[in-house]
């Protein structure tokens, strides 16, 4: 019981505290990392992005909660809140990247990648 108490009393809160989503926009595309699940950045190439828009969504209704989630609207990477940028990829898939400043992320993507 002591081991379980330590594991869930200290380990789980520590795990939740260290979880973060990092998003970078580079000239060749969008890079994101959902630490500690992704140790290196994932890339979505500029040519793969068909369109995108800042949006407000319902994390529980649309994706079943927070984290790396699959829902009826596609795949989502979100930590908290209900705002992000919804992407439609050239493959037809949909991807949501959660953000506390989605309008700024969408504007920066539009200026660097030249798309909307």
Domain range spanning residue 15?
A: 2-113
Which residue shows structure tokens 């790396």? 68
| ∠ Cα 39 40 42 (to 5°) | 125
Which residue shows structure tokens 């927070």? 66
**Domain count of the chain?**
1
Q: What was the pLDDT predicted at 63? A: 92
Model pLDDT for residues 28-83, shown as the tens digit of each residue? 899 999 998 889 999 999 999 999 999 999 999 999 999 999 988 899 999 989 99
Residues linked to residue 56 through DSSP beta bridges, in sequence order: 83
pTM here?
Answer: 0.83
H or E stretch at 103 = helix 102-113
| CATH number of residue 41's parent domain | 2.30.29.30
Mean pLDDT of the chain: 90
């Amino acid at each position: 019981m002591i081991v379980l108490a330590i594991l869930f009393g200290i380990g789980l809160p520590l795990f939740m505290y260290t979880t973060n989503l990092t998003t970078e926009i580079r000239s060749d595309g969008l890079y994101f990392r959902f630490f500690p699940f992704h140790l290196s950045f994932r890339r979505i190439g500029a040519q793969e992005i068909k369109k995108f828009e800042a949006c407000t969504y319902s994390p529980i209704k649309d994706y079943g909660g927070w984290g790396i989630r699959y829902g009826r609207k596609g795949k989502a990477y979100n930590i908290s809140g209900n705002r992000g940028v919804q992407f439609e990829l050239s493959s037809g898939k949909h991807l949501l990247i959660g953000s506390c400043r989605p309008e700024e992320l969408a504007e920066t993507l539009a200026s660097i990648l030249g798309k909307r």
